[in-house]
Chain A
Amino acid sequence: MAKVLIPTPLRQYSEKHDSVELHGTTVGEVLASLTARFPDLRKQIFNDEGKLRSFVNVYLNDEDIRYLKKDATPVEMGDTLSIVPSIAGGATSVAEPPTTLSKEEILRYSRHLIMPEVGMEGQLKLKNAKILMVGTGGLGAPLGLYLSAAGVGRIGVVDFDVVDFTNLQRQVIHGTKDVGRKKLDSAADKMLDINPNIRIDRYDVALDSSNAMEVLKPYDIVIDGTDNFPTRYLVNDACVILKKPNVYGSIFRFEGQASVFANPGGPCYRCLYPEPPPPGLVPSCAEGGVLGILPGTIGLIQATEAVKLILGIGEPLVGRLLLYDALAMRFRELKLRRNPECPVCGDHPTVTKLIDYQQFCGMPHREEPAMSVAQEGEIEPTEVKAKIDRGDDFLLIDVREPHEYQICSIPGAKLIPLGDLAKRMSELDSAQEIVAHCKSGVRSGKAVDFLRQAGFKKVRNMKGGILAWSDKVDPRVPKY
């Protein structure tokens, strides 16, 4: 004797009963009693050969009878049998690799199709390819535009940032109307506009050791378009572990680099740079500036390498570091070898899973506020303004560079670039009160430390620099 629960849609065959008590000592017997009582249920549950239909599972209480004794599973008073279907599915059109191009695609890719090196076969390889772009900034912008135009079928995009006015000078995938939007949405819109035949996977995350493996896994090739060391080492190590080529590019001022790392047999980023530079030694583009066109050149070298890897044509940039100098307009090449001692891709790797890259690169964690260099002796921009208005006797020095002073300045400030401070110290009076400022407060903090060591006691650092001045005192002062 057992209770059988009838699924809702089958109650039309069970005289509307939602459960019935039936006789039998095994599951098979109970089901036989069920179909004897309600013959119409039979064809719903059993096939023509009298076997349970492929999608039907029978559960005795909480257990699938397949893992018990199937039909022979004994039943006792108080047991409940449930009939549960197996259900699965999926959009097969995506799961099965496309083997043809539509008429529209054939037109769109005609300049590829007429080259034997690409042809129909190559274009289908592109359509079936899966590339992950890390970042939609300077390098990601040309990458996103050209990879979608080329017909790379699935492109993963990672970015958690928002479009900012300072991005527009080089991140050409975003427009003025996109300022304030998520870079992910802005980039995806542009890419799908260029080519609606592609699929874009959006990852609104900061890539870190907790999510990188999962994010990278579905892709054939990873392209690193980031501008910081922790992410660069993270992407490299994850690519080596997952055996995916890492198409690398980096940019600074007028110079760039590119290479393909972690390709089977080839070197990785750590073979070239085993250790990150000390924090602060290598300035970022935000600190040192970058020619807006430069990431276009480097990003397109990365895009070219990615497409070559997919098509399997030409000579990949593996084991070679390409150096580009825009001012000299010269490309140079350095030979790179895989380092057998490399901690990640060497013969006896010691790094076999992802580590804490913020710590590895000596960076404070994101959530920790950056310590101000000279927290003591800081002064708010509003207080500086009040001092000026009151006519207090003090000297405001601007320790930025002359070209920055040309962009904007605070009236009355004396320009002494940080690098000139030592030789121009004689211009300062140690008895006079001094306030130093720069763009954001870091360089002027260094200036304050330097002057204190030189015996100046009445020096203070204007908190947040001219950026904070623009926010808190005079919004007419442009931010850069």
Chain B
Amino acid sequence: MIEIESGAWEVMVSHAESTFPNECCGAMIGNIEGDQKRVTAAVPLENAYTGAQGARYELRPEDLLAADRKARAAGLDLIGIFHSHPDCDAYFSKTDLENSCPWYSFVVLSVKSGKFDHAASFLPNPDQTAAEKEELTWPKS
């Protein structure tokens, strides 16, 4: 299961809301103990998709590499990726699955009419043919 701490959560929600009506993306940093993942910091990253970004996002590997280095320098780990679905539910779409990787938790934030609505986390399989839902907790305000 994955738990997001309040500081990181605020960054994720505000990034998702301010990027609305486009999709946002970013990295989640924290630590893993056994099955328990804890996100202590979130890093907003630029959506590098070159077409309309209302329903697409793309992470630059360089940006992810930089986030990974930043995490390592702080003695933490890169443990997940987050992105938003503007005016759409937080499900793992076909596009999400086909362009994912099995190593990280993928948190999807549903933003409806500019406001955060709900979220879910997914773990894609190695062949990117299916994703398992992961238990996600965030600070409810």
Contacts and interface: CB of A to CB of B under 8 A. Distances in A.
A5 to B, nearest CB: 7
Contacts of A86: 59, 61, 99, 101
Residue of A85, A90, A93 most packed against chain B (CB within 10 A): A90
Given A90-B55, A92-B93, A94-B55, A62 B62 contact: yes
Contact of B61 (A9, A64, A89): A64
Interface string A69-95: 000000000000010111111111111
B101 A92 contact: no
Most chain B CB neighbours (cut-off 10 Å) among A10, A55, A87: A87
Interface string B71-101: 0100001110101011110000111110111
5 contacts: A9-B103, A84-B62, A85-B61, A85-B103, A95-B55
Contacts of B72: 5, 18
Interface residues of B, number: 44
Interface of A: 5, 7-10, 18, 43-44, 55-57, 59, 62, 64, 82, 84-95, 188, 192, 199-202, 218
B81 A87 contact: yes
A91 B61 contact: no
B8 interface: no
A333 B106 CA distance: 58
For the complex of A and B, list the 3 residue pairs with the smallest distance between their C-beta atoms, beginning with the closest: A89-B96, A85-B101, A90-B56
Contact of B103 (A44, A90, A200): A44
Contacts of A18: 72
A225 B13 CA distance: 33
A44 B59 contact: no
Contact of A59 (B61, B104, B126): B61
Contacts of B128: 55
Nearest to B66: A62
Interface in B111-141: 113-114, 126, 128
B120 to A, nearest CB: 13
B93 A93 contact: yes
Contacts of A94: 54-55, 86-88
Interface of B: 20-21, 23, 25, 32, 49, 52, 54-59, 61-62, 64-65, 68, 72, 77-79, 81, 83, 85-88, 93-97, 99-104, 106, 113-114, 126, 128
A57 B55 contact: no
A402 B20 CA distance: 50
B65 A87 contact: no
A188 B93 CA distance: 26
Contacts of A202: 20-21, 113-114
A88 B95 contact: yes
Contacts of B93: 89-93
Nearest to B78: A8
Contact of B68 (A7, A55, A62): A7
Contacts of B83: 89-90
Contacts of B64: 84-85, 87
Contacts of B113: 188, 192, 200, 202
Contacts of A90: 23, 49, 55-57, 83, 93, 95-96
Contacts of B85: 91
A470 to B, nearest CB: 35
B57 A8 contact: no
A154 to B, nearest CB: 8
A64 B68 CA distance: 15
A380 B101 CA distance: 69
A262 B73 CA distance: 55
Given A5-B72, A91-B86, A84 B23 contact: no
Nearest to B93: A92
A59 B56 contact: no
B99 A89 contact: yes
B78 A7 contact: yes
B61 A57 contact: yes
B55 A92 contact: yes
Contacts of A7: 68, 78, 103
A92 B57 contact: no
A70 B103 CA distance: 23
Contacts of B25: 87
Contact of B88 (A85, A93, A218): A93
A7 B65 CA distance: 10
A64 B65 CA distance: 11
A479 B114 CA distance: 34
Contacts of A92: 55, 93-96
B59 to A, nearest CB: 4
A321 B76 CA distance: 66
A59 B93 CA distance: 28
B68 A84 contact: yes
A44 B126 contact: yes
A88 B64 CA distance: 12
Nearest to A218: B52
Given A82-B65, A84-B68, A201 B21 contact: yes
B101 A87 contact: yes
A220 to B, nearest CB: 12
Contacts of B99: 55, 86-89
A121 to B, nearest CB: 23
Nearest to A192: B113
A336 to B, nearest CB: 33
A377 B54 CA distance: 56
